[in-house]
Homo-oligomer: A and B are copies of this chain.
Amino acid sequence: MRKDRIVPQEEQEFLNHYSPKDYDRPSVTADILVFSMIDKKLHILLIKRKGHPYKDYWAIPGGFVGINESVEDAAYRELKEETNIDNAYLEQLYTFGNPNRDPRMRVISVAYIALVSASKMKESAGDDASEVCWFPVNDLLEQLETEDILAFDHEEILHTAISRLRGKIHYTDIAFQLLPKEFTMRELMEVYEEILNTKLRLTNIIRDTAPRLIFTGEYRKNDVVHCRPSKVYTFNKDYFKKY
Beta-carbon nearest neighbor of A143 in chain B: B1
A110 to B141, CA, bound (A): 28
Q: Is A20's CB under 8 angstroms from B72's CB?
A: no
A126 at interface (Cβ–Cβ under 8 A)? no
How distant is the Cα of A25 from the Cα of B65 in the complex, in angstroms? 8
Say which residue of B67, B71, B106 sits within 8 Å of A67 (CB atoms).
B106
Which of B18, B67, B155 is close to A24, meaning CB atoms less than 8 Å apart?
B67
- Chain B residues with CB under 8 A of A52: 10-11, 14-15, 18
- The verdict on A104 contacting chain B, using a C-beta distance below 8 Å, is yes
The smallest beta-carbon distance between A186 and chain B, in angstroms, is 28
Q: Apart from A2-B148, A5-B148, A11-B52, list 13 A-B contacts with CB within 8 A.
A: A1-B145, A1-B146, A2-B155, A7-B53, A15-B52, A15-B103, A20-B105, A26-B28, A68-B99, A71-B95, A71-B97, A95-B110, A108-B110
Chain A to chain B contacts (Cβ below 8 Å), 28 pairs? A1-B145, A1-B146, A2-B148, A2-B150, A2-B153, A8-B55, A10-B52, A11-B55, A14-B53, A15-B52, A15-B103, A15-B104, A20-B104, A20-B105, A23-B64, A24-B67, A25-B25, A25-B26, A25-B28, A26-B28, A26-B65, A28-B97, A68-B106, A70-B98, A71-B95, A71-B97, A92-B95, A167-B243
Interface positions of A (Cβ within 8 A of B): 1-2, 5, 7-8, 10-11, 14-15, 18, 20, 23-28, 51-55, 64-65, 67-72, 92, 94-95, 97-99, 103-106, 108, 110, 144-148, 150, 153, 155-156, 167, 243
